[in-house]
Chain A
Amino acid sequence: MEAKENNQFGLEKSHGDHISSHSSGAAGFVTPLTSSPILSASMVEAFFAPSLWNHHTSSCPMNFGESNIQTATSGINCVPIGKPVAMSNRGMLPSPPPGEFPHSLPHFPVDSGFIERAARLSCFGGSSFRGISLFGPSQSMAPPSDASKDVNGARVLKAELNVVSLPVEHGTIKGITTNSKRDRSISHVGTSNNESREGNFCEDGQERHTGSADAAGNSSSSDLGANKRRKATEEMEKEKDQVLRALQSSTETTKNNTETKHKSYKHSGKNAKDNSEAAKEGYVHVRAQRGQATNSHSLAERVRREKISERMKYLQELVPGCSKVTGKAVMLDEIINYVQSLQRQVEFLSMKLAAVNPQLDFSIEGPLAKNLLHSHGGSSSAAGFSQEMIYPQVYSSQQGLAHAGISSMLNPSDAFRRPMNTEIPMTSGYKETSLQMHNSWNEQLVMQMAYGANPPLNSQVINRKPDGFTI
Chain B
Amino acid sequence: MDSKSSACSSPNPNPTLGPSKLMLAFRFLRALSLVRRTTPASSRTCRGRRIERAAYASMAYTAGASRAWSRAVLRRLHHRARRRAVAPRRLSTTAGNRAEALRRLVPGGGGMDYCTLLEETADYIKCLSMQVELMQGIVDSASSYGP
Task: Mark A residues whose CB is within 8 Å of B.
Answer: 11, 14-15, 18, 54, 57-58, 60-62, 304, 307-308, 311-312, 314-315, 318-319, 329, 332-333, 335-336, 338-340, 342-343, 345-347, 349-364, 369, 372-374, 376-377, 379, 382-383, 385-387, 389, 395, 430-431, 434, 443, 446-447, 449-454, 456-458, 471
Q: 16 interchain pairs (CB within 8 A)?
A: A312-B118, A318-B126, A339-B102, A339-B125, A342-B128, A343-B87, A356-B143, A372-B23, A374-B10, A379-B20, A382-B22, A443-B29, A446-B138, A450-B136, A454-B136, A456-B133
* Interface membership of B65, Cβ < 8 A: no
Q: Are A451 and B145 within 8 A (Cβ)? A: no
Q: Are B121 and A61 within 8 A (Cβ)? A: no
* Interface membership of B68, Cβ < 8 A: no
Q: How many residue pairs, one in A and one in B, have C-beta atoms under 8 Å apart?
A: 230
Name the distance in Å between A289's Cβ and chain B's nearest Cβ: 21
The 7 closest A-B pairs by CB, nearest first: A450-B137, A57-B18, A386-B22, A354-B48, A350-B52, A449-B141, A311-B118
* Interface membership of B72, Cβ < 8 A: no
Max chain B Cβ within 10 angstroms of own Cβ: one of A329, A362, A363, A443? A362
Q: Are B129 and A372 within 8 A (Cβ)? A: no
Name the distance in Å between B145's Cβ and chain A's nearest Cβ: 5
Closest A residue to B87 using CB positions: A343
Name the distance in Å between B97's Cβ and chain A's nearest Cβ: 10
* In the bound complex, CA of A345 to CA of B137 (Å): 13
Task: Mark B residues whose CB is within 8 Å of A.
Answer: 8, 10, 12-23, 25-26, 29-30, 32-33, 36, 44-45, 47-52, 54-56, 87, 91, 93, 95, 98-99, 101-102, 105-106, 114-115, 118-119, 121-126, 128-129, 131-146
Residues from chain B with Cβ under 8 Å of A353 in the complex: 32, 48, 51, 135, 138-139, 142
Name the distance in Å between A1's Cβ and chain B's nearest Cβ: 13
Q: Are B20 and A376 within 8 A (Cβ)? A: yes
The residue that A18 contacts in the complex, of B23, B26, B54, B136, with Cβ under 8 A, is B136
* In the bound complex, CA of A62 to CA of B21 (Å): 20
Name the distance in Å between A445's Cβ and chain B's nearest Cβ: 8
Q: Are A457 and B133 within 8 A (Cβ)? A: yes
Tell me whether A352 and B139 are in contact in the complex, defined as CB-CB below 8 angstroms, given that A308-B118, A340-B91, A347-B52 are known contacts: yes
Closest B residue to A380 using CB positions: B17
Name the distance in Å between B8's Cβ and chain A's nearest Cβ: 8
The residue that A315 contacts in the complex, of B23, B50, B125, with Cβ under 8 A, is B125
Name the distance in Å between B127's Cβ and chain A's nearest Cβ: 9
Closest A residue to B141 using CB positions: A449
Closest B residue to A309 using CB positions: B118
Tell me whether A342 and B106 are in contact in the complex, defined as CB-CB below 8 angstroms, given that A431-B145, A447-B29 are known contacts: no
Beyond A351-B48, A449-B141, 8 extra complex contacts between A and B, CB < 8 Å: A308-B114, A319-B125, A332-B102, A339-B128, A345-B132, A373-B10, A449-B137, A457-B129
* In the bound complex, CA of A191 to CA of B51 (Å): 74
Q: Are B122 and A314 within 8 A (Cβ)? A: yes
Q: Are A340 and B105 within 8 A (Cβ)? A: yes
Residues from chain B with Cβ under 8 Å of A340 in the complex: 91, 105
* In the bound complex, CA of A471 to CA of B49 (Å): 33
Q: Are B18 and A451 within 8 A (Cβ)? A: no
* In the bound complex, CA of A430 to CA of B142 (Å): 11
Q: Are A359 and B128 within 8 A (Cβ)? A: no
Q: Are B140 and A453 within 8 A (Cβ)? A: yes
Q: Are B138 and A329 within 8 A (Cβ)? A: no
The residue that A333 contacts in the complex, of B98, B126, B143, with Cβ under 8 A, is B98
Residues from chain B with Cβ under 8 Å of A363 in the complex: 33
* In the bound complex, CA of A304 to CA of B99 (Å): 16
Q: Are B144 and A329 within 8 A (Cβ)? A: no
Q: Are B30 and A362 within 8 A (Cβ)? A: yes
Q: Are B22 and A372 within 8 A (Cβ)? A: yes
Closest B residue to A359 using CB positions: B145
Q: Are A329 and B98 within 8 A (Cβ)? A: yes
Q: Are A358 and B36 within 8 A (Cβ)? A: yes
Max chain A Cβ within 10 angstroms of own Cβ: one of B18, B21, B142, B144? B21
The residue that A62 contacts in the complex, of B16, B51, B55, B138, with Cβ under 8 A, is B16
Closest A residue to B22 using CB positions: A386
The residue that B18 contacts in the complex, of A11, A14, A58, A350, with Cβ under 8 A, is A58
Name the distance in Å between A441's Cβ and chain B's nearest Cβ: 13
The residue that A339 contacts in the complex, of B30, B124, B141, B143, with Cβ under 8 A, is B124
Name the distance in Å between A311's Cβ and chain B's nearest Cβ: 4
Q: Are A453 and B105 within 8 A (Cβ)? A: no
Q: Are A383 and B20 within 8 A (Cβ)? A: yes
Max chain A Cβ within 10 angstroms of own Cβ: one of B93, B115, B138? B138
Residues from chain A with Cβ under 8 Å of B87 in the complex: 343, 346-347
The residue that B48 contacts in the complex, of A312, A314, A315, A350, with Cβ under 8 A, is A350
The residue that A350 contacts in the complex, of B51, B126, B142, with Cβ under 8 A, is B51
Residues from chain A with Cβ under 8 Å of B51 in the complex: 350-351, 353-354
Residues from chain B with Cβ under 8 Å of A385 in the complex: 22
Max chain B Cβ within 10 angstroms of own Cβ: one of A304, A354, A360, A363? A354
Closest B residue to A320 using CB positions: B129
Residues from chain B with Cβ under 8 Å of A333 in the complex: 93, 98
